[in-house]
Structure 1
Amino acid sequence: MPSPAVPRSAPPAVVRAATAGVVVVALLVLAAFTVPHLVDWEVHTRAPRSTVDELLVPPLHGWFAPQWFGPGTLPALVLGLGGWWWGARWARVLPWRGLLLATYLLALGWCLSLALVDGPSGLSRVLGHPVEYLPTARAVDDVGLLLREYVDRISYDAAPRNWPTHVAGHPPLMLLFFVGLVQVGLGGDLAAGVVVTVIGASMPVAVLVALRALGVPDVARRLAVPLALSPVAVFVAVSADAVIGAVVAWGLACLALATRRAGPGPGRWGWSAAAGLLLGCSVLMSYGMPLVGLVALAVIGAGCAWRGPVLPVAVGAALVPVLGFAAAGFAWWEAYPVLHDRYWEGIASIRPASYWLWGNLAALAVITGPAVWGGVGVLVTRVRTLARRRLPEPERVVVLLSGAMLLVVLAADASRMSKSEVERIWVPFVPWLTLTVALLPPRWRSPALLAQVVTALALQHLAYTSW
């Protein structure tokens, strides 16, 4: 619940902007769900040969399948409603390390309880699917050969040895992550699902660390619960993209730590190198992650660290894994054009861009929740003020980081390299968009958090998603 000390009013312009953001996105989501059915528009949410008879729910990759109660329902209700009622209170009073731990445990419990609404299969069914990484990872016995053959096996022309969908659609480090799990005895479907969730649930903590390092600890405390109870948790526990999101989040957190003039830890050079290595690894996990470089620049700008070693050291460190993989046989710049051709030879060629260019954004709106888009409405009004350098420091940091990530999302959407099946693809971007919740009018914060919780519970219980 909001602090009694927090002002209870906001300028009318802020209220109007937040209201406009929610209304516009609500209309977008409503149109995305209803227009294909109303006009009998085949948008090919699923493969043409799908035998699913249930009501499909574009823009989500799944179908309408209400499940009113499952093993995780009660824990999810307790965590969601408890976090909404008491969360802001403990976020204000806990010591910093206690706040980080509590945020992580809340996020982890939220992810696990939502997944377990479907029982243990909620954690295992996706990662064990034939198009996913695990089945391929279990067959890998020569990493060097895998890297040397990786590009050649992306194309459909390499059949029957071409990679399955998710392996082909990503650089090899994501597959190697699962190869590592197999090698240490965690290669079972359920075990891997737990590992992915444990890692993915750390994203909110990384964002809090970044905000404190950038000098806005009060914003971090205000956002702890909204980050932990985000609707994106429905997809964190079932998608390898949560691992990518965690690598990106901790890379940006290290970069924020590098902008500090002084403080504990390895110093600016060390934090910059760690940030570069993590962000470079993310590029080897997803072809879309180079776009996050814009957010990295926003972090440096928010920390006023253009002078000094931060940027050159981070860039140099990011090149190490990319060039190292190239020397071992996988060149990112050679693989991407091959993937591009495979993508357009598949179902993407029949998915209409006239729907998916905005349908993708509707899917993003669903997994981020309505509160974020109220904040985006305020964000848009803050851009001109930011350009004039008149924003208070907390708002400046929020606008820089969330605004940069919004531009990344728009660029990724405009590329048309992801049409449908985007719920999981947006996962790494959601925590940084959630920063916009800090821009909401004070009176909105408690009901906005409740709306986030209700959105997650409804999404998990009403739709069967393929992720």
Structure 2
Amino acid sequence: MDRANQRELENITVEQDSHDTEVGSRLPRLRDLIGAVLAVVLVVVAAVVAKMGNATITPLITPSARTFRDFTEGAPLFAQWLPHVGIGTPFAVLIAAAVVLYGPAVSARMSWRPLMFLAWASSFGWVLSLALVDGWHRGFVEKLTAKDEYLYEVPGVTDIPAMLETFTTHIVDGQIGSWTTHVSGHPPGALLVFVWLDRLGLQGGVWASMLCVVVGSSAAAAVAIAVRALAGDALGRRAVPFLVLAPTAIWIGVSGDGLFAGVAAWGISLLALAAARTVSRPWIFAVGAGILLGFTVYLNYGLTLMAIPALAVLIAARNARPLLGALVGALAVAAAFTASGFWWFDGYQLVQVRYWQGIAQYRPFAYWGWANIASAVCAVGLAVPAALHRSFAWTRLRSLSGLSLLVIAAVLAVAAADLSTLSKAETERIWLPFYVWMLAATALLPPRTHRFWLAVQAIAALAINHLLLTNW
């Protein structure tokens, strides 16, 4: 089946979904509610179990009063209980109301390119306003300037080639001049981004945080573009309001992982455009996709799992030709880092040593193995578990639906990351590059229910951000 026929099949399926809603089919909508309710139960159970004090399953074994407050109080989220409002509160409420009331209609009618700019701008406003709920300094300026963060190491990087060549000698804790927590836990690409920003004269927390918000919020447009390329215009448009008004915005603003999510999202999006042959020079887009996806591997070791969504794109488009261009781009990035003296596999082995030297050794997998999923629910919102069963519908799987394959690939990537035991807690932030693709499942919800589910998403995000002080 070629892409034209595939898009036609997607459109027929979308029309059938709308028809089922119009004629009053209640079973799919009941399943939507059941999925959301089960997700709520999971979050509640994870929060209750965290307070039980059982040495086997308590999120932080043998905690002191301080470590409990800092690492466990908000479990399954990395946060502390602190009801508060801030300068971002009225703006967040206004943006949420506007998207809930007008988002679906505007998305359905506006021309595509202006819609993508509006989606990016709206997502930017939503992310920034939620960050400012915690205040200008605490919520934005100082997020990336703490001792554990990237900016702490930037002044010490006076020679970039020397830094790359000796990077692995500073990963393990206890070594002379060992990197701070976040720098040691990632490949050098993450630190390099902020060093480059500094070299451009954009020093300090304001510029670093702004970069993360701008790039991270752009994921809304990137995912929508990929969905449209692989699953048709209707589903691409339906996804837009949910991609904008997602609880993931809480952790995109402000964290390095928000930046990683944006870079990875555009890598997959360019690959989708190349594979679907919706652009005039697909090979350029394929190489560009490879460069971005190759660089993500040097931003975060765990983003090697973006190979799963990339494979899903090629399967959905039934076109493996972009793979060559993507490999060329990715290998060029790898060659540049390797020639500079950083061998990725050495870094990956050493970062596992560093991981088990830290707080991870006190976090039991017996809890986080499933509580990670509860934190994922908090990040993606209830609309995603409500819609997931639709992505796994047999008719969509049998036809290799582009949207379903993207969503399932994201779910598989999360499952692999979880089972690795190298992501225990803080996954509301760490798994952002996968969550943005899971959000695409919401496009399959019946159109008549979109305002309801958008309101649920907005309320969840506002509640989390105003009741808890999140650490990222």
Do the structures match in fold with TM over 0.5? yes
Structure 1, unpaired ranges of 5+: none
In 1, distance between residues paired with 2:293 and 2:198?
24
Query: Could you tell me which of 157, 161, 167 is aligned with 1:150?
Result: 167
Equivalent residue, structure 1, for 2:132: 116
Aligned pair in 2 of structure 1 residues 363, 282: CA closer, same or farther (>3 Å)?
A: same
Query: Could you tell me which of 452, 455, 459 is aligned with 1:454?
Result: 459
Task: Report the secondary structure of 1:209's partner residue.
Answer: helix
Aligned pair in 2 of structure 1 residues 150, 193: CA closer, same or farther (>3 Å)?
A: same
> Is 1:329 aligned to 2:346, yes or no?
no
Query: Could you tell me which of 315, 321, 338 is aligned with 2:350?
Result: 338
Equivalent residue, structure 2, for 1:66: 83
Aligned pair in 2 of structure 1 residues 114, 387: CA closer, same or farther (>3 Å)?
A: closer
In 1, distance between residues paired with 2:427 and 2:144?
16
Aligned pair in 2 of structure 1 residues 124, 262: CA closer, same or farther (>3 Å)?
A: closer
In 1, distance between residues paired with 2:69 and 2:420?
31
Structure 2, unpaired ranges of 5+: 1-14
Equivalent residue, structure 1, for 2:250: 234
Whether contact under 8 Å (1:45, 1:58) holds in the other structure is no
Task: Report the secondary structure of 2:469's partner residue.
Answer: strand
1:189-204 matched pairs, under 5 angstroms: 189-204=205-220
Equivalent residue, structure 2, for 1:285: 299
Aligned pair in 2 of structure 1 residues 192, 261: CA closer, same or farther (>3 Å)?
A: closer
Equivalent residue, structure 2, for 1:272: 286
> Is 1:97 aligned to 2:116, yes or no?
no
* Number of equivalenced pairs: 451
Equivalent residue, structure 2, for 1:135: 152
Whether contact under 8 Å (1:379, 1:399) holds in the other structure is yes
> Is 1:347 aligned to 2:359, yes or no?
yes
In 1, distance between residues paired with 2:239 and 2:252?
18
In 1, distance between residues paired with 2:303 and 2:62?
25
Give the CA deviation at 1:110: 0.5
Equivalent residue, structure 2, for 1:19: 33
Whether contact under 8 Å (2:50, 2:76) holds in the other structure is no
In 1, distance between residues paired with 2:422 and 2:282?
36
Question: Match of 1:385, as an amino acid?
Answer: T
Equivalent residue, structure 2, for 1:305: 319
In 2, distance between residues paired with 1:18 and 1:94?
28
Equivalent residue, structure 2, for 1:437: 442
Task: Report the secondary structure of 1:459's partner residue.
Answer: helix
Instruction: Give the TM-score, by structure 2 length.
Output: 0.91
Aligned pair in 2 of structure 1 residues 215, 359: CA closer, same or farther (>3 Å)?
A: closer
1:23-62 matched pairs, under 5 angstroms: 23-39=37-53, 42-44=58-60, 50=66, 56-62=73-79
Aligned pair in 2 of structure 1 residues 51, 365: CA closer, same or farther (>3 Å)?
A: closer
Aligned pair in 2 of structure 1 residues 170, 45: CA closer, same or farther (>3 Å)?
A: farther
In 1, distance between residues paired with 2:65 and 2:156?
27
Whether contact under 8 Å (2:83, 2:466) holds in the other structure is yes
> Is 1:385 aligned to 2:390, yes or no?
no
Equivalent residue, structure 2, for 1:424: 429
Question: Match of 1:209, as an amino acid?
Answer: I
Aligned pair in 2 of structure 1 residues 286, 75: CA closer, same or farther (>3 Å)?
A: same
Whether contact under 8 Å (1:375, 1:439) holds in the other structure is yes
In 2, distance between residues paired with 1:347 and 1:245?
24
Give the CA deviation at 1:442: 3.4
Aligned pair in 2 of structure 1 residues 19, 185: CA closer, same or farther (>3 Å)?
A: same
Give the CA deviation at 1:212: 2.4
Give the CA deviation at 1:311: 1.1
1:222-261 matched pairs, under 5 angstroms: 222-261=238-277
In 2, distance between residues paired with 1:66 and 1:45?
26
Query: Could you tell me which of 92, 110, 122 is aligned with 1:106?
Result: 122
Aligned pair in 2 of structure 1 residues 443, 38: CA closer, same or farther (>3 Å)?
A: farther
In 1, distance between residues paired with 2:278 and 2:242?
30
Give the CA deviation at 1:13: 4.2
Give the CA deviation at 1:15: 2.5
Percent identity of equivalent pairs: 35
Greater share of helix: 2
More off after superposition, 104-113 vs 339-348: 339-348
Equivalent residue, structure 2, for 1:171: 187
Task: Report the secondary structure of 1:437's partner residue.
Answer: helix
In 2, distance between residues paired with 1:109 and 1:319?
36
